[in-house]
Protein backbone atom coordinates (compact mmCIF):
# COMPACT_ATOMS: atom_id res chain seq x y z
CA UNK A 1 0.00 0.00 0.00
CA UNK A 2 1.31 3.43 -0.96
CA UNK A 3 2.14 6.08 1.64
CA UNK A 4 1.52 8.86 -0.87
CA UNK A 5 -1.24 11.39 -0.27
CA UNK A 6 -1.67 11.81 -4.03
CA UNK A 7 -4.54 10.14 -5.88
CA UNK A 8 -4.12 10.46 -9.64
CA UNK A 9 -7.43 10.86 -11.44
CA UNK A 10 -7.38 8.61 -14.51
CA UNK A 11 -9.57 10.81 -16.67
CA UNK A 12 -8.84 8.94 -19.89
CA UNK A 13 -11.26 7.83 -22.63
CA UNK A 14 -9.99 4.26 -22.98
CA UNK A 15 -7.84 1.52 -21.48
CA UNK A 16 -4.89 2.00 -23.84
CA UNK A 17 -4.26 5.62 -22.86
CA UNK A 18 -4.88 4.76 -19.21
CA UNK A 19 -2.32 1.98 -19.16
CA UNK A 20 0.19 4.10 -21.05
CA UNK A 21 0.32 6.40 -18.02
CA UNK A 22 -0.02 3.65 -15.41
CA UNK A 23 2.95 1.79 -16.87
CA UNK A 24 5.11 4.94 -16.66
CA UNK A 25 4.51 5.53 -12.95
CA UNK A 26 4.46 3.11 -10.01
CA UNK A 27 2.38 2.36 -6.89
CA UNK A 28 4.92 3.91 -4.55
CA UNK A 29 4.34 7.35 -6.07
CA UNK A 30 0.56 7.57 -5.90
CA UNK A 31 -2.83 5.93 -5.70
CA UNK A 32 -5.29 5.90 -8.62
CA UNK A 33 -8.86 7.10 -9.11
CA UNK A 34 -11.24 5.48 -11.58
CA UNK A 35 -14.27 7.63 -12.29
CA UNK A 36 -17.51 7.34 -14.20
CA UNK A 37 -16.24 7.80 -17.75
CA UNK A 38 -13.42 5.30 -17.53
CA UNK A 39 -15.47 2.76 -15.59
CA UNK A 40 -18.36 3.03 -18.04
CA UNK A 41 -16.04 2.46 -21.01
CA UNK A 42 -13.78 -0.22 -19.55
CA UNK A 43 -15.74 -1.75 -16.69
CA UNK A 44 -14.56 -3.72 -13.67
CA UNK A 45 -11.86 -5.60 -15.58
CA UNK A 46 -9.73 -2.47 -15.74
CA UNK A 47 -10.13 -1.93 -12.00
CA UNK A 48 -8.93 -5.49 -11.39
CA UNK A 49 -5.90 -4.89 -13.62
CA UNK A 50 -4.92 -1.82 -11.63
CA UNK A 51 -5.40 -3.64 -8.33
CA UNK A 52 -3.30 -6.54 -9.63
CA UNK A 53 -0.53 -4.05 -10.41
CA UNK A 54 -0.53 -3.26 -6.66
CA UNK A 55 -2.17 0.16 -6.97
CA UNK A 56 -4.56 1.41 -4.30
CA UNK A 57 -7.69 2.20 -6.33
CA UNK A 58 -10.30 4.77 -5.38
CA UNK A 59 -13.51 3.86 -7.23
CA UNK A 60 -15.21 7.22 -7.67
CA UNK A 61 -18.76 6.36 -8.80
CA UNK A 62 -20.67 8.43 -6.23
CA UNK A 63 -23.44 5.88 -5.65
CA UNK A 64 -26.79 7.60 -5.07
CA UNK A 65 -29.86 5.37 -5.25
CA UNK A 66 -32.28 3.48 -3.02
CA UNK A 67 -30.52 1.97 0.02
CA UNK A 68 -30.65 -1.66 -1.12
CA UNK A 69 -29.21 -0.86 -4.55
CA UNK A 70 -26.39 1.20 -3.05
CA UNK A 71 -25.59 -1.51 -0.51
CA UNK A 72 -25.30 -4.15 -3.23
CA UNK A 73 -23.20 -1.85 -5.41
CA UNK A 74 -20.81 -1.28 -2.50
CA UNK A 75 -20.46 -5.05 -2.01
CA UNK A 76 -19.69 -5.47 -5.72
CA UNK A 77 -17.05 -2.73 -5.57
CA UNK A 78 -15.46 -4.32 -2.51
CA UNK A 79 -15.18 -7.60 -4.42
CA UNK A 80 -12.96 -5.80 -6.95
CA UNK A 81 -10.38 -5.21 -4.24
CA UNK A 82 -10.56 -1.41 -4.30
CA UNK A 83 -8.96 0.63 -1.53
CA UNK A 84 -11.67 3.30 -1.34
CA UNK A 85 -15.13 3.98 -2.76
CA UNK A 86 -17.72 6.69 -2.38
CA UNK A 87 -21.41 7.41 -2.20
CA UNK A 88 -23.27 10.71 -2.35
CA UNK A 89 -24.20 12.19 1.02
CA UNK A 90 -27.37 13.66 -0.50
CA UNK A 91 -28.69 10.09 -0.54
CA UNK A 92 -29.57 10.64 3.12
CA UNK A 93 -29.00 8.78 6.38
CA UNK A 94 -30.76 5.52 5.50
CA UNK A 95 -28.81 5.13 2.28
CA UNK A 96 -25.52 6.01 4.00
CA UNK A 97 -26.18 3.49 6.77
CA UNK A 98 -26.99 0.79 4.21
CA UNK A 99 -23.70 1.44 2.42
CA UNK A 100 -21.77 1.33 5.69
CA UNK A 101 -23.44 -1.91 6.80
CA UNK A 102 -22.64 -3.54 3.46
CA UNK A 103 -18.93 -3.10 4.18
CA UNK A 104 -18.71 -4.64 7.64
CA UNK A 105 -15.67 -6.87 7.03
CA UNK A 106 -12.42 -5.82 8.67
CA UNK A 107 -10.64 -5.66 5.30
CA UNK A 108 -13.41 -3.70 3.57
CA UNK A 109 -12.51 -0.61 1.52
CA UNK A 110 -12.73 2.83 3.04
CA UNK A 111 -16.13 4.39 2.45
CA UNK A 112 -16.42 8.13 1.99
CA UNK A 113 -19.21 10.46 0.93
CA UNK A 114 -19.33 13.27 -1.61
CA UNK A 115 -20.52 16.54 -0.11
CA UNK A 116 -20.61 19.39 -2.66
CA UNK A 117 -18.70 19.02 -5.92
CA UNK A 118 -15.72 21.35 -6.20
CA UNK A 119 -17.06 22.45 -9.60
CA UNK A 120 -20.25 23.76 -7.92
CA UNK A 121 -20.85 27.35 -6.86
CA UNK A 122 -23.51 28.79 -4.57
CA UNK A 123 -25.42 29.86 -7.69
CA UNK A 124 -25.48 26.21 -8.78
CA UNK A 125 -26.85 25.16 -5.39
CA UNK A 126 -29.54 27.84 -5.48
CA UNK A 127 -30.58 26.71 -8.96
CA UNK A 128 -31.56 23.30 -7.53
CA UNK A 129 -33.29 24.71 -4.47
CA UNK A 130 -30.48 24.61 -1.89
CA UNK A 131 -30.49 28.04 -0.29
CA UNK A 132 -27.48 27.56 1.91
CA UNK A 133 -23.88 28.73 1.78
CA UNK A 134 -21.58 26.14 0.20
CA UNK A 135 -19.51 25.78 3.38
CA UNK A 136 -22.60 25.20 5.52
CA UNK A 137 -23.93 22.59 3.11
CA UNK A 138 -20.59 20.77 3.12
CA UNK A 139 -20.49 20.81 6.93
CA UNK A 140 -24.04 19.47 7.19
CA UNK A 141 -23.42 16.62 4.76
CA UNK A 142 -20.06 15.75 6.31
CA UNK A 143 -21.63 15.57 9.77
CA UNK A 144 -24.34 13.31 8.41
CA UNK A 145 -21.73 11.01 6.90
CA UNK A 146 -19.85 10.75 10.19
CA UNK A 147 -23.05 10.06 12.11
CA UNK A 148 -23.68 7.07 9.85
CA UNK A 149 -20.20 5.66 10.40
CA UNK A 150 -18.48 6.58 7.13
CA UNK A 151 -14.72 7.00 7.09
CA UNK A 152 -14.68 10.48 5.61
CA UNK A 153 -15.84 12.78 2.85
CA UNK A 154 -14.82 14.42 -0.39
CA UNK A 155 -14.59 18.18 0.10
CA UNK A 156 -12.66 21.24 -1.00
CA UNK A 157 -9.52 22.01 0.97
CA UNK A 158 -11.17 25.32 1.78
CA UNK A 159 -13.52 23.44 4.10
CA UNK A 160 -10.91 21.02 5.44
CA UNK A 161 -9.69 22.97 8.45
CA UNK A 162 -13.17 23.45 9.91
CA UNK A 163 -14.18 19.86 9.20
CA UNK A 164 -11.06 18.52 10.92
CA UNK A 165 -11.80 20.72 13.90
CA UNK A 166 -15.45 19.72 14.19
CA UNK A 167 -15.35 16.07 13.09
CA UNK A 168 -11.97 14.90 14.36
CA UNK A 169 -8.52 14.04 13.07
CA UNK A 170 -9.46 10.47 12.13
CA UNK A 171 -12.25 11.57 9.77
CA UNK A 172 -10.66 11.31 6.31
CA UNK A 173 -10.81 14.29 3.95
CA UNK A 174 -10.24 13.69 0.25
CA UNK A 175 -9.70 16.85 -1.76
CA UNK A 176 -10.20 17.31 -5.51
CA UNK A 177 -9.67 20.64 -7.23
CA UNK A 178 -5.91 20.55 -6.61
CA UNK A 179 -3.77 22.63 -8.94
CA UNK A 180 -0.09 23.52 -8.89
CA UNK A 181 0.64 27.26 -8.87
CA UNK A 182 1.42 27.25 -12.61
CA UNK A 183 -1.60 25.14 -13.64
CA UNK A 184 -4.82 26.28 -15.29
CA UNK A 185 -7.92 25.95 -13.08
CA UNK A 186 -9.91 24.17 -15.79
CA UNK A 187 -13.53 23.56 -14.76
CA UNK A 188 -12.79 23.67 -11.04
CA UNK A 189 -13.98 26.68 -9.06
CA UNK A 190 -12.83 25.93 -5.51
CA UNK A 191 -9.15 25.09 -5.97
CA UNK A 192 -5.96 25.15 -3.86
CA UNK A 193 -2.34 24.06 -4.20
CA UNK A 194 -1.14 20.70 -2.78
CA UNK A 195 0.81 22.33 0.05
CA UNK A 196 -2.09 24.55 1.06
CA UNK A 197 -4.48 21.59 0.99
CA UNK A 198 -2.32 19.54 3.36
CA UNK A 199 -1.81 22.52 5.66
CA UNK A 200 -5.57 22.95 5.88
CA UNK A 201 -6.17 19.31 6.82
CA UNK A 202 -6.62 17.32 3.61
CA UNK A 203 -5.54 13.70 3.94
CA UNK A 204 -5.55 12.78 0.23
CA UNK A 205 -5.25 15.02 -2.81
CA UNK A 206 -6.97 14.14 -6.08
CA UNK A 207 -4.90 15.47 -8.97
CA UNK A 208 -5.77 14.81 -12.59
CA UNK A 209 -4.63 16.81 -15.60
CA UNK A 210 -1.64 18.54 -13.91
CA UNK A 211 -0.09 15.05 -13.70
CA UNK A 212 -1.74 13.03 -16.48
CA UNK A 213 -1.06 15.71 -19.09
CA UNK A 214 2.43 16.61 -17.87
CA UNK A 215 5.37 16.04 -20.20
CA UNK A 216 6.97 14.02 -17.40
CA UNK A 217 4.29 12.61 -15.04
CA UNK A 218 6.87 10.82 -12.88
CA UNK A 219 8.82 14.01 -12.25
CA UNK A 220 5.60 15.88 -11.48
CA UNK A 221 4.63 13.20 -8.94
CA UNK A 222 8.09 13.32 -7.36
CA UNK A 223 7.87 17.11 -7.12
CA UNK A 224 4.46 17.14 -5.44
CA UNK A 225 5.32 14.28 -3.11
CA UNK A 226 8.48 16.06 -2.06
CA UNK A 227 6.64 19.32 -1.51
CA UNK A 228 3.99 17.90 0.78
CA UNK A 229 6.20 15.39 2.61
CA UNK A 230 8.09 18.26 4.25
CA UNK A 231 4.98 19.78 5.82
Which conformational region is residue 67 in: left (phi greater than 0), alpha (psi within -120 to 50 degrees), or beta? alpha
Q: Check 5, 36, 49, 62 and give the catalytic one.
A: 62
Told to judge if 53 belongs to the known catalytic residues of this protein, a careful annotator would answer no
The pLDDT averaged over each successive group of 10 residues in the chain (231 residues) is: 90 95 95 97 98 98 98 97 97 98 90 87 84 89 97 92 95 89 53 87 94 93 89 71
Q: What is the pLDDT of residue 185?
A: 47
Tell me the fold of 6-229: TIM Barrel (3.20.20)
Amino acid sequence: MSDSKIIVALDFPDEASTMELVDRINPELCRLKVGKELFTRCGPDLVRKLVNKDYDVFLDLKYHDIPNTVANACKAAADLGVWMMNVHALGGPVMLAAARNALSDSDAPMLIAVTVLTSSSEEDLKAVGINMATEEMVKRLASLAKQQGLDGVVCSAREASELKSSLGHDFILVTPGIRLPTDDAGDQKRIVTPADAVRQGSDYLVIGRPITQADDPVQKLLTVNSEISQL
